[in-house]
Amino acid sequence: MSFSLEDIRELLLKENLLKEFVSDQGWHLTAPTNFSFENISYDSRQVDESTLFFCKGLNFKEAYLQSAVSQGLAYYVAEQPYEVSAVGIIVTDIRKAMAILAMAFYDYPQQKLQVIGYTGTKGKTTAAYFTKAILDHTTNNKTALLSTMNTTLDGQTYFKSHLTTPESLDLYRMMAEAVTNGMTHLVMEVSSQAYKTQRVYGLTLDVGIFLNISPDHISPIEHPTFDDYFYCKRQLILNSKTVVLNHESDYFKLLKETADLYHIPAIVYGRSPETTYQVTSLAGSGHPFTLTSNQGHLPIEAEYDILLAGGFNQENAASAIIAAALTGASIEDAQTGLKAARVPGRMDQLVQHNGAHVYVDYAHNYLSLKTLLEFAKSEHPKGRVIVVLGSPGNKAISRRHDFGSVLSETADVVFLTADDPAFEDPQKIADEIAEAITNEALLIHYEMDRPTAIEQALAASTAEDSVVIAGKGVDPYQKINGEDVLYEGDYAIVKRLIEDKQL
């Protein structure tokens, strides 16, 4: 893959992103030569003389560019010129420029895939896995996945994701690899940060799904306000050919108004008769539900069953059925796929020897934790809800207060512990959660060693209790002081303790 300096000039001018070319020949709007690039990179350690280098990021230092030039770099893209021998392609917005140039460099792979994108405060990963499980039957396993936990570009081999939505350069490289691997569909999670930082600038989704919204990721380094967070989330609607909306979401009317204003076809699902497709829970073994049509035309009216408990997961499944049907899936594909679909770290259930149920879930914000604890209380009304919980360091600071509020409303016992503390002291984070707890009857324990906290929670339970291990799921790492430290994973720890220590 390659493209020329003149190609770059035309692409940037078309998007009104080009300021000027800066070289030893002066400042001009014409390219100084007709050089062709064989590589593109934003990592100064991965450059050579044929690489186009992007100077991007809040932590970018001129020293990175100087290091790249010393390795032979001849051209860079930046928002300002630097005193180096390389030619500068100066742009008004480095992130938008990187997105536009990356998709062109990789020959617009999104046009060779059916792209389904999910956003929302909770449920993105579950709904994405549900959708892939359905489309695997439709496409004969030719569906790629970009999710918070794992990524697959060949439909079968998974690796750990570093970001919910990759940087634009990585995103289009991954898409191109998926195309090379013969994939026909891509299911991806689209974070609010992806829109705020222009990682998906210029990307149009074939189907965009807006699951729900509640405050999250509010911090000085993410979104300064809920308004900013919600606005960034809503950009998915404007960048989708068809949008699927959850009628049960907060601010649903604004979501629907947004779609209508920009003439984006919208399909609404939920439990209300006002929806296009209505979800109704059924009694019986498993977790069956029906999807019925009030005014829709997709052939998806049927009975479905899923492995995961909770009405909220039935709604996630409904969104997946609609999205998959819009991109070619049949009722049989949906029924078969959903019946066997598993989601790593989502609503994994185990039973202790004393009869207490344990729920391991990735719940990591206000809405997901509240939904999970309310489910545990409804399933085990005679017992206590015992929770193991932490909050990440150096991001989403608002979650700490939110967790204190949820615990006050729905928990009986909590073991506060570490959860990706990064560069912060996990005890300090735990203290901030505790400061927001207003229920004086809530019993609070502190144990910063997470496996020990889990063991203590299991040991404290009785037959009628439910134990909720929230936050990590099957994540095999803890982020500590800038490193990914190997971690057994919540589910593996619970399983081991039940089997080895007979808890």
pTM, rounded to two decimals = 0.87
Maximal C-alpha separation, the chain: 79
The pair of three-digit structure tokens given for residue 323, joined into one six-digit string: 């999205």
The pair of three-digit structure tokens given for residue 236, joined into one six-digit string: 């998915």
Predicted local confidence at residue 163, as pLDDT: 76
Our CA angle for 329, 332, 336, nearest 5°, is 105
Consult the annotation and say whether 391 binds a ligand.
no
Predicted local confidence at residue 395, as pLDDT: 86
Consult the annotation and say whether 292 binds a ligand.
no
Consult the annotation and say whether 126 binds a ligand.
yes
Per-residue DSSP letter, 489: -
pLDDT at 293 over 90: yes
- For the segment 203-216, the average pLDDT, to the nearest whole number, is 92
pLDDT at 215 over 80: no
Average pLDDT of the chain? Answer: 94
pLDDT at 262 over 90: yes
Predicted local confidence at residue 57, as pLDDT: 79
Predicted local confidence at residue 136, as pLDDT: 97
pLDDT at 498 over 90: yes
pLDDT tens, residue by residue, 111-121: 999 999 999 98
pLDDT at 501 over 80: no
Consult the annotation and say whether 161 binds a ligand.
no
Consult the annotation and say whether 160 binds a ligand.
no
Consult the annotation and say whether 191 binds a ligand.
yes
- For the segment 435-446, the average pLDDT, to the nearest whole number, is 97
* Percent with pLDDT over 90 in the chain: 83
Q: What is the pLDDT confidence band of residue 435, given thresholds at 50, 70 and 90? A: very high
Residues 103, 364: Cα–Cα separation, whole Å:
32
Q: 252-261 and 226-238 are packed helices; what angle lies between their axes, rounded to 10 degrees?
A: 40
- For the segment 49-54, the average pLDDT, to the nearest whole number, is 95
Q: Which residue has the higher pLDDT, 221 or 423?
A: 423
Predicted local confidence at residue 243, as pLDDT: 98
Consult the annotation and say whether 164 binds a ligand.
yes
Consult the annotation and say whether 139 binds a ligand.
no
Q: Report the amino acid identity of residue 315.
A: E
Spatial contact of 31 and 5, defined as CB atoms under 8 Å apart: yes
Consult the annotation and say whether 337 binds a ligand.
no
pLDDT tens, residue by residue, 63-88: 999 999 999 999 999 999 999 999 99
Consult the annotation and say whether 410 binds a ligand.
no
In the sheet that 240-246 helps form, which strands lie side by side, from edge to edge?
158-160, 150-152, 143-146, 185-189, 114-119, 205-210, 240-246, 266-270, 277-281, 287-293, 302-306
pLDDT tens, residue by residue, 217-231: 667 778 889 999 999
pLDDT tens, residue by residue, 315-335: 999 999 999 999 999 999 999
Consult the annotation and say whether 122 binds a ligand.
yes
Predicted local confidence at residue 157, as pLDDT: 94
Could you tell me what percentage of the chain is helix, strand and coil, using 3-state DSSP and rounding each to the nearest 5?
35, 25, 40
Consult the annotation and say whether 44 binds a ligand.
yes
Which residue from 390, 216, 377 is spatially nearest to 310, judged by alpha carbons? 377
